Chain A
């Protein structure tokens, strides 16, 4: 069965005065109908650029998708005409942005904004679109949807705006919903509600979700697949269970260890990954993670690791991924042991 979305070897570079920024450098993944893929990584690891590249929203001429294919139902989005891509955007692939405070246009009533894609893609009249917008607002849990649809965005709270954004993205019943850190700008109490809502909406509409986040806690509940990115490359990719319970890449270990947990009572303190993510202009030679990796050996500074199968389609890009001696628990943070 062919996948709903298949991304092959995607690379997006930005030209800046200081040099070429390899924001995304050879990323491949597949997404099936109704599945949830989480893309995880630090700021600047290329998560958002990956999403924007899929929708061909990279601003040229500064940025450019330099290679790769984005096959959506078999068609390469990167090769379609502008008008065909516009027909897909918002209709088949919709996007939720990070900051609901700024992603709603302040001069339009919420109902009108939600209805706009219906007018655009489904040829609805303004009245029909408004009626549908009211239903959608009701669906995402906004009370008094008919009154609220006539409100302006500044009359909504942050959580309600993100609900409205979700309603907007779901308006045309898309096949894929890309959520770019949908909860980052929200209060912790609202975050859980929004995630809950997204899961509920996925059950209702059957949309596949690409969830971009830097918060592993967010993905644990809902992701089928997890892709961990570092410096524009995939470092680990596989089923969520595999990546969470048997991670094979030191960077993923670092991410998991820097997460507060209640179930494992260790020393109490969180273990941050030391150092800073590398500049994407001067990515370190060899494995990009080696300057921060507590397990780095000589080979890491020269050889670029490739994604290798560590079992059941679980891929990891580390020189030692398949070394049975190389284990997170066995060699727990050598820095401390020494």
Chain B
């Protein structure tokens, strides 16, 4: 990094604003690598700025980002642009012949067995999937970061306790655990993301713990302690910002995972309840008609596939972007 300034001569381009005395005082000590006039043109680069620069060059990650942006935008503004002629995604159309229509201009994705427009259900279903994905991962993050931080920073009994608890979570088959949790809580939109969130924390805690373990060995942590910083300050101001990168990557990918889990749970009837549109629920409803009305499975399936893929690609791109070893 410093070679940026290396080319400038020791005193060559210092501006007239320099105090003479200052120059003389450090005559013997001014480094040849010190910036002269070059400095003004050097933009201050940040860790995150660098990462963004690298991410921008990763086409797949950007494709993922654009796709997620599109889905989010479409979902938020759905009320404004989904033509009312498609019909309310929730209301059942009992007119004879209105159900199981193949895709047409009137219903671009066709209609399901209750005569509801599949296009608007896919668009509104994104609300459920994205919200569940985001909220579930947020819950996992809150619990996981706290637990990971405690266990990474304070070793010993606390660490052992948190990690063994995490092991207990890992010991159960994931979907079974989720189903039994929801069986206790009762199947509902809210309980789906709570269950997924609760089940997600151990992995986050693991990743964060190992990240903290490596960061806290750094000398700047000792330096912060020698400066009189308290444990909390060291944790939040000095360790966390340096340990968070893997969590950003893992969290992004987890959103995709949570969306899949929501779809799976809804497919099994343990998730979002009808008539709320959800991609998983739509697949579940369509399974008996898979060959008679393939558009019923293709579109929600496509939506799940692309959205999850987008999150994974973006997470993958961020892993490369945040990896300091890839510094250019």
Binding site for B on A (CB under 8 A): 55, 57, 86-91, 94-95, 97-99, 102-107, 109, 116-117, 120-121, 138, 141-144, 147-148, 150-152, 154-157, 159-160, 165, 168, 190, 193, 196-197
- Bound together, the chains give a CA A216 to CA B264 distance in angstroms of 70
Residues of chain A within 8 A of B224, CB atoms compared: 105, 116
Q: Are B228 and A155 in contact (CB under 8 A)?
A: no
B220-246 at interface with A (beta carbon < 8 Å) = 220, 222-230, 233, 237-238, 241-242
State whether the Cβ of B70 lies closer than 8 Å to any Cβ in chain A: no
A-B contact count (CB 8 A): 111
Closest 3 pairs between A and B when the two form their complex, measured CB to CB: A90-B227, A90-B228, A89-B228
B44 contacts A155, CB within 8 Å? yes
In the assembled complex, how far is the CB of residue B118 from the closest CB belonging to chain A, in whole angstroms?
A: 47
Contact across chains for A103 and B223 when beta carbons are under 8 A apart: yes
B25 — which chain A residues lie within 8 A by C-beta? 141
User: In the bound complex, do residue A107 and residue B242 qualify as a contact, i.e. CB atoms below 8 Å apart?
Assistant: yes
Nearest residue (CB) in A for B37 is A144
Contacts of A193 in B (CB 8 A): 28-29, 31
Bound together, the chains give a CA A55 to CA B44 distance in angstroms of 35
Complex CA distance for A241 and B144, rounded to whole angstroms? 59
User: Which residues of chain B from 1 to 57 have any CB-CB distance to chain A below 8 Å in the complex?
Assistant: 1-2, 4-5, 14, 18, 22, 25-26, 28-31, 33-35, 39-40, 42, 44-47
- Chain A residue numbers with a CB within 8 Å of B42 are 155
Q: Whole-angstrom distance from the CB of A151 to the nearest CB of chain B?
A: 6
Complex alpha-carbon distance, A141 and B219, angstroms? 24
B220 and A155 form a contact (CB under 8 A): no
Q: Which residues of B contact A104 (CB under 8 A)?
A: 220, 223
Q: Are A97 and B223 in contact (CB under 8 A)?
A: yes
A147 surroundings in chain B (CB, below 8 A)? 39-40
Q: Which residue of A lies closest to B156 (CB)?
A: A61
Closest Cβ of chain A to B234, distance in Å, is: 10
Q: How far is the CB of A138 from chain B (nearest CB, A)?
A: 7
A104-B220, A160-B34, A193-B29 known; A117+B44 contact, CB < 8 A = no
Q: Tell me whether B85 is interfacial, beta carbon within 8 Å.
A: no
The 22 listed contacts between A and B (C-beta, < 8 Å) are A57-B222, A57-B225, A89-B228, A90-B227, A91-B228, A95-B226, A97-B219, A97-B226, A103-B220, A104-B223, A105-B224, A120-B233, A148-B35, A148-B39, A152-B44, A152-B46, A155-B4, A157-B34, A159-B33, A165-B223, A168-B227, A196-B29
Q: What 6 new A-B contacts, CB under 8 Å, besides A144-B39, A152-B46, A152-B47?
A: A57-B226, A88-B228, A103-B223, A105-B224, A105-B242, A106-B220
Closest A residue by C-beta to B25: A141
Of the residues B35, B218, B229, contact of A120 by C-beta under 8 Å? B229
Contacts of A109 in B (CB 8 A): 44
CA distance A196 to B238 in the complex (A): 31
Q: A105 — which chain B residues lie within 8 A by C-beta?
A: 220, 223-224, 238, 242
CB distance from B16 to the nearest CB of A (A): 13
